[in-house]
Structure 1
């Protein structure tokens, strides 16, 4: 049985690594082969596992294909249409921007996806359960693509969101009603409680609504490895069920439970009802469903099937979760939650005798940190070095104090003073916790590990399993040595005389990393919009994934937000030796930027650099610091936002210099990329960094036509994601979006 269940799980999770979905005819053939393997008469111990694996694989692929087919039609991409839909989930409001999901959408003369996610800048209050008529600029699901970056498109597909949109105007057609409205009303009631400013945290714990957590809160949680405490997960569901189970068990042990009711079935039943009730309260999203399935199976196992071993309910839970939603394997939470359970089973399943509670608790924390390390690395997630200590304190704090007070306080809200008092106490405990986590985060921020080769990851994963293995497993100490390469992986060295260039995909902005053998330069740092700082969210993680912890120079072309907005975050996240800019006085004083000077030259590892700034500049764009990089005769020109007059001035100052690679001035604006400039450079390729459907219309159609007429290869961040090229190798560039991922827009 276990072999077949394991094979089914393998077939279902194989979807996660597919570069493209198999064609329908091939899936039909595989499904028939799988059915024949299950039902056929030929004898083999591999017959049933093979059949289950094939059928699981086909089901996962068909499910994924249906989700892809429900995406917005390319013909509607970028169009504004009137549509009607019902608000589901809990809308989030931050900085005057309202974000919410729509279902049951319909529009005249257009077929829309079943589920959409929209944004309304300056919009009115929107409540769950309402029906709206909206004018929406529609967009196909698309995200930024960077090395080890958050894969927004995979996240959208896993939630079966088929379209994005920006609301232009709208009208409410019907008021909120039903369970959705009830959850929204309860959220408003929770947010109205004065709980030491932690009302958003209480809403996260009770309703699964994390929109009330600030970016500083998320940073503290991530740096200390405690995100799971404020996002409803199996831990919260299991805790509440465990409290109810323990209540019945305790009463039975004291002789206070009615003898006519068997205590064990009653305890399991009450725990199951409590878990399902908490799940409904939290919206019963996929992570909560996963937790409820696992808990129910564990309770059934506790009642009737303990003799079959604890691995059985885990395997069954994995299969049920993936059969119900095969796309769950695209989410990191799936791997982390089941990985954590598997590690605990591995650690405690083979122990001999009973341990004191303090020993079990301490061992659970450090083994979880080590055991989950390979998973975090494989998923490209930050690793918290303070997580064992933080969780040692925070888990009982939240589990035994904050969550019970928050839940019972919510239930007691109809009772004057009682419910609010309990919620206020829970909020005070949360405030103390966040202060402690903030101190730990300042002491030891999360570590973004560099990318490692597959053999290093496999070696480290084996070592982690050995380290956390039960006492008595041989060569456990060898596991520590096998972990070392994860922290000190083989370094990729850039050859002498060459430069590796990466145009980071930051949306409507610019950030370009230039690496030589021993030096690194960052040209611009991306934008900052409200709480989203691309320097913190995109540029720093990208640099750290490349193994870069120090910048020899950060060159900010000029002070516009889309080029300089992320600079402070980069300076906070990395060691920056020097900052240079075309507009140093317009940048934050903390950057201590120096002025860009024309004709400044330097050489790093055989690669030549030269800056230029137009002395007659009358605007910030014209004052952009331009950088020319020469590696073995192959040149790249980084231009910032210079316009046509500045382009002419650069040509006059650099006659007869051919430049093979050009960063499109001003993102391809109509005021730049003049025909004279392009002919003078004689480039063969151009890098364009911009946001999809940006409000400025970059790159302008006339500019694109100019590139095409001159035969330039265009590497557009919207079409290619982050773009890599090796200057000096005279080879084409490559875009990360072109790497095989079946869910990505090509």
Structure 2
């Protein structure tokens, strides 16, 4: 039975790794074949086929519910209901819309929208809006986080921005009450931590700042501030334990069986907490697992601990096969499995503090392989932080927060309880901030499959009980983690990565022993591409430090991410065309025309216009040459600056040209394009950008000159091996089934 259940889960989870879905017409036959095999000795194969067919059919349905290519980028009047709690940050209202109606057919059933400068909205309201819709699309970079997969897992068929709108129906029912409760929580005096209280009680994390999330990530405590299985399970455990203690102390009615009442009360409490949290996918997983554990405790304890875990795994996967695309699914189930492995079958009992300590170091070691595979940061201070944060949040802060929320309508009682909970949260964040400053999160380099398998095997051996043969070999298998295999360019060659950063620019140039970053990507309010995309991509590629950071000029789309890069990976030098307009903390030097240097037999040359009158004209231009193959990076220079460059001594006959100013009409003159003679033209921009980049006239000039266009918006991050005269490679060429439509 257990083998069949594992096979069913494996069939569903295989979906995550498919480059392309099987044809929908074939899947019913696969499903029938699996059902036919179930009564026979090939039961495991039948379960695998059933799980695989069911997952693929659900994926086809989610893909078919996406916005069609013909409607991409168009504006529609539509009406829908606000679901979930709207998120308001930096004057932008973000929310999801369901129950969509429109005079235009073919719109998805669920939308994720943003309204810049929009009005106050509440969950449950109906709105009529004019929205410019876009197909689900994300940035594709070496860092493995995939926004498109995340959208598909949430079955969001399109994203968009709102141009205008009006409320057509007020909120009512449970959704409205939940939103009102959030507003009440945000208004209480919680010693500056009302946002964290709202996150713990109703699952609204919009009150947590970017700095708060950074502290949580650095200390491995993100799971404490989002309602997860830990919170739901702990509340259920507290309610169960309350009844058990009353029964043990002889205070429970003799004629009433305490165990069914304890399990029922725990389940009701978990369901109520799940409702407060909006029944998000992580909460749904937690509720399924809590219900099965309680059922196991009530009737089936003699069957062991692994069976309910397998039943919960299969139940979650069958209810939502796309959940395997989310990182949280893997982390939550593997965490429970690790705890079962570490504590099941060991002789003797441990004190509570030793149990907590063993649980923390087991999580820190056991989850490391999956964190590596998912490209998530590893918190070195996490075991210490969780050692005191987990019991404090789960056993004290969450119960106090829920108790205070329940008593909010009792004058003079609820708010003081929440004030105490807020004070505890303030103390917790102060301690976590100190730990984050002492030891920030570590983002390791990506490992080849063979290295990752060795690390995973090593961690498994270390976690086995003492006395198991060859357990000490686990330490040797961790060597690839400490000394990751390096994929460096050969001497005389350079590896170029034009990152996919939307409407901005960030280019990595790496030689055998050196690394240079040209521009750092944009920053939009709290959303910093330098921190979210560029730095994780650098670490994934194995870059441990920067010798030079060149910021072509001070515009936010080029230099917005520079502070984050300097915070995580400080460059030895910072050079810019506008050093005076950059933050003083960057300590930038002026770009000097004629500066020439060589790294590992790869040559570099800088140039800046002496007649520059504005920021774009001040852009620092960089020429790289490896084994006779050249790349010219131009920043945002315009036609006038191009003429000055043509009159300079910099050699301009190149194989690769970064098209100036993202393909703006004010740049890329015919004379400049012909002078470069580039066979490949690189464009860094976002799809459907408001500037119309690249301009059709620029595209025509490039094509007339024989240049082949390579666009990050269409191809994702672009990789060039300079000096090898090889074709360029875009990461979107790597097939993923969620990118096929």
Taking structure 1 as the reference length, the TM-score comes to: 0.98
Residue aligning to 1:329: 324
Partner SS for 1:580: strand
Measure the CA separation in 1 of the matches of 2:198 and 2:739: 33
Match of 1:348 in 2: 343
CA distance in 1, matches of 2:184, 2:651: 70
Per the alignment, residue 281 of structure 2 pairs with: 286
Paired residue for 1:535?
530
Q: Which residue of 1 aligns with 2:355?
A: 360
Aligned partner of 2:604 in structure 1 is 609
Alignment of 1:388-537 (within 5 A): 388-537=383-532
SS in 1 for 2:26: helix
The partner residue of 1:643 within 638, 655, 667 is 638
Q: Which moved more, 1:103-112 or 1:648-657?
A: 648-657
Structure 2 equivalent of residue 21 of structure 1: 21
Contact 1:348 1:470 in 2 (8 A): no
User: What residue in structure 2 maps to residue 123 of structure 1?
Assistant: 118
* Aligned mates of 2:594, 2:651 — CA distance in 1: 16
Q: Distance in 2 between matches of 1:22 and 1:550?
A: 43
Alpha-carbon offset, residue 652 of structure 1: 2.1
What is aligned with 2:86? Answer: 91
For 2:557 and 2:302, how far apart are their aligned partners in 1?
Answer: 62
Cα distance between partner residues in 1 of 2:724 and 2:389 = 52
- Residue 709 of structure 1 corresponds to 704
Give the Cα–Cα distance (whole angstroms) in 2 for the partners of residues 410 and 656 of structure 1. 69
Q: 1:63 aligns with which of 54, 58, 66?
A: 58
Q: What is the match of residue 302 of structure 1?
A: 297
Q: SS at 1:25's partner residue?
A: coil
Matching residue of 1:4: 4
Q: Alpha-carbon deviation of 1:709? A: 2.5
Contact 2:144 / 2:374 at 8 angstroms: preserved in 1?
Answer: no
**Alignment coverage as a number of residue pairs:** 741
CA RMSD of superposed structures (Å) = 1.2
| In 2, Cα distance between equivalents of 1:98 and 1:656 | 49
Alignment match of 2:214 (pick from 215, 219, 222)? 219
Deviations 1:272-323 (A, max 9, x none): 1111111111111111010010011111111111221111011110100010
Alpha-carbon distance between aligned partners in 2 of 1:149 and 1:590, rounded to the nearest angstrom: 30
Report the CA distance between 1:166 and its aligned residue: 0.4
C-alpha separation in 2, matches of 1:431 and 1:704:
55
Cα drift, residue 38 of structure 1: 1.9
Question: Pick from 545, 555, 559: which aligns with 1:560?
Answer: 555
SS at match of 1:236: helix
| CA positional deviation for 1:745 | 5.8
The SS at the match of 1:250 is helix
After TM superposition, give the deviation of residue 36 of structure 1 in Å. 2.3
Determine the C-alpha separation between the residues in 1 that align with 2:479 and 2:414: 51
Task: Report the TM-score, using the length of structure 2 for normalisation.
Answer: 0.99
What's 1:176 paired with?
171
> Aligned equivalents of 1:156 and 1:599: distance in 2?
47
| SS of alignment partner, residue 578 of structure 1 | strand
- Shift of residue 744, structure 1, vs aligned partner: 2.3
Q: Is the 8 A contact 1:639 1:665 kept in 2?
A: yes
- Residue aligned with 2:131, SS: strand
1:41-68, CA deviations, whole angstroms, 9 ceiling, x for partnerless residues?
Answer: xx63xx1000010010000001011001
Q: Deviations over 1:385-412 (max 9, x none)?
A: 0000000010011011110000111111
Q: Contact conserved, 1:463 with 1:482, CA < 8 A, in 2? A: yes
Residue pair 1:351, 1:471 contacting (<8 A) in 2 also: no
Offset at residue 523 of structure 1 (A): 0.3
1:52 and 2:47 aligned: yes
Q: Is the 8 A contact 2:66 2:108 kept in 1?
A: yes
- The partner residue of 1:677 within 652, 672, 675 is 672
Tell me how far apart the structure 1 counterparts of residues 143 and 90 of structure 2 sit (CA, whole Å): 28
Following superposition, the deviation at residue 691 of structure 1 comes to 1.4
Shift of 1:484: 2.4
**SS of residue matched to 1:303:** helix
What do residues 664-699 of structure 1 show as CA deviations (whole Å, max 9, x unaligned)? 100000111111111111111111111122111111
Instruction: Give the unaligned 5+ runs of structure 1.
Output: none
1:667 aligns with 2:662: yes
Distance (whole Å) between structure 2 residues aligned to residue 74 and residue 482 of structure 1? 48
- Whether contact under 8 Å (2:20, 2:740) holds in the other structure is no
Q: Structure 1: how far apart are the matches of 2:303 and 2:119?
A: 56
Report how far residue 475 of structure 1 moved: 1.9
Instruction: Name the CA distance, whole Å, in 1 between partners of 2:482 and 2:49.
Output: 37
In 1, are the aligned partners of 2:108 and 2:157 still within 8 Å (CA)?
yes
Q: Is the 8 A contact 1:621 1:642 kept in 2?
A: yes
The secondary structure found in structure 2 opposite 1:552 is strand
